[in-house]
Amino acid sequence: MGHQESPFSPFAEAPPSRKETSKKSGTQYSRDSVPVTGAKRVYGVPLEQLVIAGHSGVPRVVARLCHFIERHGMQTDGLFRTPGNQRSIAKIRADFDMYGDSNLERYKDVAAAAGCLKMFLRELPEAVVPTRFTEDFVAALREEGSPPRRCELLSALVHSLPPAHYALLRFLCSFLRRVTNFHSAVHMSADTLGIIFAPNVFRLSAREGGAPCLEQQAAINRILAQLIHNYDRMLCWTGNLKVRRVEMDDDDLGIWKDVWAE
């Protein structure tokens, strides 16, 4: 079908009015107080429901936020560590939940976009790496043997994830790998990004005290760091392993252009 421009597209000349009119009641409301229960809600929604048929399976919100961060944030010291403005984060989230998109250029807040990305991952009902896979990932990391063998085991587990989860993990690790290319400016290494993003990508069961096992947390931090550092080998290469492959072209975040098509 033809290309349809979102009202919040970066190609739009101007954002919509701060006041919107309800089609049902005819009343006006401020987007600052829009309830996030509309049909286009994206935060807290199962990943499979956000997959766009005919595309790579990456939710629009993720592609848009990553593209904006890559375009404007690669010289930002402490990217992903600096807390974003909470008001901006709330507005951007409300935009995506109500309209399915947000005019990120208008807010000009890289830290808020980064906060929205982490929030989206954290609020998924089922983690990017579903909980039932976590123990297997940790066991693979602790497997005795050569590093290539552990790499093979982790790669096999990655490729055994449900399609929507694999696609999102691959897209995210590809993006984070590119972030590390600007380490001298952003001071974000694969290890640092692993520590920041692992709690949002994996979910750990709490112990009796209510806190997850610190040893397991350290393990999943290392796992995500390895997936970022060895992206080409672990998420794109399967060696001789007979695992399901998912075709997805996310080079240079080119996918984000596709998510506008309906």
What domains sit in the chain, N to C, each tagged with a CATH number? 1-125 (1.10.555.10), 128-255 (1.10.555.10)
pLDDT at residue 146, rounded to an integer? 79
CA 81 centroid distance within chain: 16
What is the per-residue pLDDT for 206? 63
What one-character DSSP code corresponds to residue 18? S
Type of residue at 17 = S
Compute mean pLDDT per 10 residues along the chain, 262 residues long, and list them. Answer: 36 34 35 42 91 67 96 94 92 95 92 97 97 94 83 92 94 96 94 96 72 84 95 69 37 35 28
Residue 125 is given by DSSP the state: S
Q: What are the residue ranges of helices labelled H in 181-251? A: 183-186, 190-201, 214-229, 231-234
Instruction: Give me the pLDDT at residue 205, please.
Output: 74
Cα–Cα distance measured from residue 87 to residue 69, given in angstroms and rounded to the nearest whole number: 18
Count Cα neighbours of 190 within 13 Å in the Cβ-side half-sphere: 16
How far is 243 from 225, CA to CA, in rounded Å? Answer: 22
pLDDT given at position 25 = 34
Beta bridge partners of 261: 3
- Model pTM? 0.75
